[in-house]
Amino acid sequence: MINLKNDNYNLSTDYSLLWELIVKNNRILGWVYTQYNCWDCVEIRNANYDHPDLDFRYSIGSRGISYDKKAYNGLSAYDDFLEMCTNYSVHFILPDFKSEKQ
C-alpha cells in the first residue's frame, strides 16, 4: 500500500478502503496508469445505481473511457476490483474524514 501526501491531499493504494468507499456510494477521484505509459484521471464509483437488481458493479473511468471490464471471469466483484486496481496501479485521493465529522 502506498500513501503519498502533499499539502492539499493524500493519495493511497489501499484498495480495500477504496472498495468500502464506493460500496457506500462515494465517488472517488483517482488515477490509473494506462497501457500508453501515462497517468489518466478517473472517477471510481458504484455503478449499481442504474441497475440495483444486478450483482454489485463498479466503474473506473472518465470521458467515455472505461478501465473496468464487464466480465468478472469467475471472480467475485471484490476480487475483480482488486485485480483491476492492481493492474492499473490505481491511486486515489483519500477523503478528509475529519471534515465529515464537523
The single-letter DSSP state of residue 70 is S
Q: How high is the pLDDT of residue 102?
A: 47
Which amino acid, residue 77?
Answer: A
Q: Is the torsion defined by CA of 22, 18, 95, 31 positive or negative?
A: negative
pLDDT at 25: 86
pTM here is 0.77
Q: Are 33 and 81 in contact (CB under 8 A)?
A: no
Q: Give the per-residue pLDDT at 21.
A: 93
Distance CA 39, CA 63 (A): 14
Question: What's the grid cell of residue 22?
Answer: 464506493
Mean pLDDT, contiguous 10-residue spans, the chain (102 residues): 63 93 91 86 82 70 73 73 90 76 48
DSSP string, 77-95: HHHHHHHHHHHTT-EEEPP
Residue 14's pLDDT is 95
